[in-house]
Amino acid sequence: MKQFANGYCMYCRRVLLLLLFVSPCALYAQREKLPPQDLIWVEENFPSAKKSNTGIRYLVLESGSGEKAKRGDKVSLVYIGRLINGETFDQQIDPQKPFTFLLGRGKVIQGWDQIIKLMRPGDKWLVIIPPELAYGTRGSSPKIPPDATLVFTMQLVAVAPM
């Protein structure tokens, strides 16, 4: 191998150059937030689910229209919340009496504040929220155990700018 004045061969220089370009990408790679057993379940049951930049998985079931919801907007939605085992822990399904709150104000779990910003009025999504963006290690007794991945079917009924 041909060596340069500084002692590096051409091959070594190429490897070092490659590492310089790949390393920053690896540093920004997001770690998986779903527990391993839940990730397997999600990949088996919802292989086409998209992943948000914060680790939330979602499937678009119906598409709405209009402007996306943003922080501070008053949003109204109907939903069914389930555990991975299919057990329903909460729901608000009457479109005449939707669940309403101000988005991004910490009134709901982090996963909701994050994913609803991607939705438009009328969107109906299946959303899979990792434990750390839901109730984490503490859970929400008695219905949600610690470290629970939550599965929501949710439809954004309305968005009102505030």
135 is catalytic: yes
38 is catalytic: no
99 is catalytic: no
94 is catalytic: no
Whether the CB-CB separation of 156 and 64 falls below 8 Å is answered with yes
Alpha-carbon distance of 125 to 119, in angstroms, equals 9
Tokens (6 digits) for 91: 């729901």
Which residue is catalytic, options 79, 99, 123, 128?
A: 79
Alpha-carbon distance of 91 to 63, in angstroms, equals 21
Which residue is catalytic, options 80, 89, 101, 147?
A: 89
Alpha-carbon distance of 108 to 29, in angstroms, equals 27
11 is catalytic: no
Q: N- to C-terminal Cα distance for the chain?
A: 68
89 is catalytic: yes
Which residue is catalytic, options 58, 99, 113, 135?
A: 135
Which residue is catalytic, options 80, 90, 101, 147?
A: 90
Which residue is catalytic, options 38, 73, 99, 109?
A: 109
Alpha-carbon distance of 71 to 105, in angstroms, equals 8
Active site residues: 79, 89-90, 109, 135, 152
